[in-house]
Amino acid sequence: MHADELSNWMLDEHERIHELAAGLRSRVAAPPRGDRAAWIAELRAHFDEFADLARRHLEKEEEAGYLAQVVEARPALAEAIEVIRREHDELTQIFAEVRAAVHELAPTDVLLLRDGCKRIEDLLTWIERHEEHENHIVMYTFTQDIGTGD
């Protein structure tokens, strides 16, 4: 994938992920006190949509080969890229664990529901941090040094 295509694809994907994350974050910020059955069903649907998009995004990043392009362009970033790859695996595992927890929630659960909401909030924070790290690496790699004109 060419640098411009990669940049546009990442921007589009990250925008959609941000939209879904914002909706999910607002949903877990205020679980209902009363009847939770419908809310849990909606939470499952929203989490599944977000998780599926994020998982496909991680897979496509690996398939697109931009990580290899980064190492090729800036060999000194090989260790940072290895951290990104490991985080992809870890995030995929966390998504599966949180999905299982969300799908096991019952309307009568109080602490498990709060735990699930907290786990989703944590996951969203880790994804944001991961994305920021990735963006910095990509910008550093594919931006030309234009100098200061000294």
- Given this model, what pLDDT does residue 7 score? 66
Residue 146: predicted pLDDT = 44
> Rounded to 5 degrees, what angle do the CA atoms 43, 49, 51 make?
95
pLDDT in the model for residue 63: 74
Q: Which domain holds residue 25?
A: 3-142
How many residues does this entry show for the chain? 150
On whether the CB atoms of residues 57 and 13 are closer than 8 A, the answer is yes
Residue 113, domain member (yes or no): yes
- One pLDDT digit (tens) per residue for the chain, 150 residues: 566 676 677 778 778 889 999 999 999 998 888 889 999 999 999 999 999 999 888 888 777 677 778 888 888 888 988 999 999 999 999 999 999 999 999 999 999 999 999 999 999 999 999 988 888 887 777 775 444 454
Q: Cβ of 139: how many Cβ atoms within 10 Å?
A: 10
pTM: 0.83
Which two three-digit tokens encode residue 127? 């994804």
Tell me what pLDDT residue 35 has.
Answer: 83
Cα 144 to Cα 31: distance, rounded to the nearest angstrom? 47
- Total tally of structural domains belonging to the chain: 1
